[in-house]
Amino acid sequence: MTSESHVEVASDPDVTSSVQAVVLVGGKGTRLRPLTLSAPKPMLPTAGVPFLTHLLSRIQAAGITDVVLGTSFQAHVFSEYYGDGSKLGVRLQYVTETEPLGTGGGIRNVLDDLTADNILVFNGDVLGGTDVREILTTHRNSGADVTMHLVPVSDPRAFGCVPTDETGRVTDFLEKTQDPPTDQINAGTYVFRRSVIEEIPPGRPVSVEREVFPKLLSEGRHIQAHVDHAYWRDMGTPEDFVRGSADLVRGIAPSPALGDRRGESMVHDGAGVAPGAVLIGGTVVGRGAEIGPRARLDGAVVFDGAVIEAGAVVERSIVGFGARIGPRALIRDTVIGDGADVGARCELLRGARVWPGVQIPDGGLRFSTDV
Ligand code: GDD
Ligand code: MG
């Protein structure tokens, strides 16, 4: 192939032909407990829809309609909600691991449903603004075995750190290293040649990050980087979930699943907001939730049916389904489990997590001695 023919491929509008998508959604979502005790992480509501809807809409908007969900934990929740995928304009198939097979094992486990030559694989918890066709174009142009989307972040230690050479070829893969040699990290979207997936050992847990990528690199195989600076966030921790949700509400994070109803807050059908309540910072109020007079919600994620009583303050926190925050309580950087009841004037700060159904009496938990 001449370099000219490479250029022609780059402008090929049909870059999505013979491409299928796989979305890995089988993780336990432990860092988002207790919310993930009752729902898998990709099904938690964000800006009014399950998180996965944003990702599936992005895949569909790129012209890819054939999507396989690699499920494990709480697999039935996905199929009950999405069915055959037709409402989102995609054809969805489900493959369930009886025992969690890890990220690499999860990809290998769906092989029987893969007929395309090139497979786009997504971690199911990434909120992103990248046009996936650009990643596919990089893959076509480089002829790599695997193409990996990378983004720069300020602290790479929680991610896969991925150094590259001057041609953008990946030279190493260091999952969650304390000593990252670069700020480029694995953004959790890959294009695999189908033949590479066939090489992953079947029937046992395999980490794509700790086993498959290091092995390919040690064999001198070609992993190409696609680096960009589009919006990107892994939604796996409460801090990131709250930030990502607020970014969706405010229109900072793109999503084809949302219309132009973006602003400082989003209030869903059947929710009540009393006069004098303040909703800012990308706050989202779920269906049937009630916000009392003079409550102040800043960057709050209030799930369906939750109640925030008069004068309560909720900042950068998630309030689970049907939970109640009592009058004048203060909730900051906290996760409140489904159906929990936080009494009047309680203060919950800095990473507190209240388990589902737990009841804290009025004034029963405070960080200060103020009345
Ligand atoms: N099917 C299946 N089976 N899916 C799984 C399994 C499994 O056993 N384990 C995890 N997953 C899914 C999760 O549901 C999630 O969507 C995705 O794989 C990644 O798992 P996380 O647990 O969220 O991994 P991480 O955030 O710590 O790290 C990964 O993502 C980072 C970027 O967001 C790694 O790929 C890092 O290298 C990467 O930087
Ligand atoms: Mg993650």
Domains present along the chain, CATH in parentheses = 19-238 (3.90.550.10), 264-367 (2.160.10.10)
User: Could you tell me which residues come within 8 angstroms of residue 8 by beta carbon, excluding any fewer than 6 positions away?
Assistant: none
Residue 238 CA to ligand 1 center (angstroms) comes to: 16
Confidence class for position 1, pLDDT limits 50, 70, 90? very low
pLDDT surpasses 70 at 98? yes
What pLDDT, on a 0 to 100 scale, did the predictor assign at position 278?
98
Q: What is the mean pLDDT of residues 240-250?
A: 97
Question: What percentage of the chain has pLDDT greater than the value 70?
Answer: 96
What pLDDT, on a 0 to 100 scale, did the predictor assign at position 6?
38
Neighbours of ion ligand 2 (CB under 5 A): 125, 234, 236
Confidence class for position 8, pLDDT limits 50, 70, 90? very low
Atom of ligand 1 nearest to the CA of 185: 39
Sheet arrangement for strand 301-302? 265-267, 283-285, 301-302, 318-319, 335-336, 353-354
Instruction: Please report which ligand is nearest the Cα atom of 43.
Output: 1
Confidence class for position 7, pLDDT limits 50, 70, 90? very low
Atom of ligand 1 nearest to the CA of 40: 14
pLDDT surpasses 50 at 10? no
For 281-303, write each residue's pLDDT tens digit. Answer: 999 999 999 999 999 999 999 99
Ligand 1-lining residues (CB < 6 angstroms): 24-27, 70-72, 97, 100-103, 106, 123-126, 159-160, 175, 185-188, 209, 234, 236
What pLDDT, on a 0 to 100 scale, did the predictor assign at position 100?
94
Instruction: Please report which ligand is nearest the Cα atom of 104.
Output: 1
Confidence class for position 67, pLDDT limits 50, 70, 90? very high
Confidence class for position 260, pLDDT limits 50, 70, 90? confident
Atom of ligand 1 nearest to the CA of 175: 37
Q: What is the mean pLDDT of residues 227-240?
A: 96
pLDDT surpasses 50 at 107? yes
Closest CA to 264 of 70, 47, 107, 74: 47
Identify which of 103, 151, 185 to mutate to test ligand 1's pocket (most ligand atoms within 8 A of the CB): 103
For 29-48, write each residue's pLDDT tens digit. Answer: 999 999 999 899 999 999 99
Q: What is the mean pLDDT of residues 218-234?
A: 97
Confidence class for position 371, pLDDT limits 50, 70, 90? low
Q: What is the mean pLDDT of residues 252-263?
A: 87
Instruction: Please report which ligand is nearest the Cα atom of 241.
Output: 2
Residue 31 CA to ligand 2 center (angstroms) comes to: 9
For 16-28, write each residue's pLDDT tens digit. Answer: 888 999 999 999 9
What pLDDT, on a 0 to 100 scale, did the predictor assign at position 3?
38
pLDDT surpasses 60 at 11? no
Residue 236 CA to ligand 1 center (angstroms) comes to: 9
Q: What is the mean pLDDT of residues 57-83?
A: 95
Q: What is the mean pLDDT of residues 59-84?
A: 95
User: Could you tell me which residues come within 8 angstroms of residue 260 by beta carbon, excluding any fewer than 6 positions away?
Assistant: none
Confidence class for position 106, pLDDT limits 50, 70, 90? very high
What pLDDT, on a 0 to 100 scale, did the predictor assign at position 15?
86
pLDDT surpasses 80 at 12? no
**Three-state DSSP string of the chain:** CCHHHHHHHHCCCCCCCCEEEEEECCCCCHHHCCHHHCCCHHHCEECCEEHHHHHHHHHHHCCCCEEEEEEECEHHHHHHHHCCCHHHCCEEEEEECCCCCHHHHHHHHCHHHCCCCEEEEEECCEEECCCHHHHHHHHHHHCCCEEEEEEECCCHHHCEECCECCCCEECCCEECCCCCCCCEEEEEEEEEEHHHHHCCCCCCCCCHHHHHHHHHHHCCCCEEEEECCCCEEECCCHHHHHHHHHHHHHCCCCCCCCCCCCCCEEECCCCEECCCCEEECCEEECCCCEECCCCEEECCEECCCCEECCCCEEECCEECCCCEECCCCEEECCEECCCCEECCCCEECCCCEECCCCEECCCCCCCCCCC
pTM of the model as a whole? 0.93
What pLDDT, on a 0 to 100 scale, did the predictor assign at position 357?
96
For ligand 1, atom 13, the nearest C-alpha belongs to: 27
What pLDDT, on a 0 to 100 scale, did the predictor assign at position 13?
58
| Residue 250 region by backbone torsions, left for phi larger than 0, else alpha for psi between -120 and 50, else beta | alpha
pLDDT surpasses 60 at 337? yes
Residue 126 CA to ligand 1 center (angstroms) comes to: 9
Atom of ligand 1 nearest to the CA of 41: 14
For 169-216, write each residue's pLDDT tens digit. Answer: 999 999 999 999 999 999 999 999 999 999 999 999 999 999 999 999
For ligand 1, atom 25, the nearest C-alpha belongs to: 159
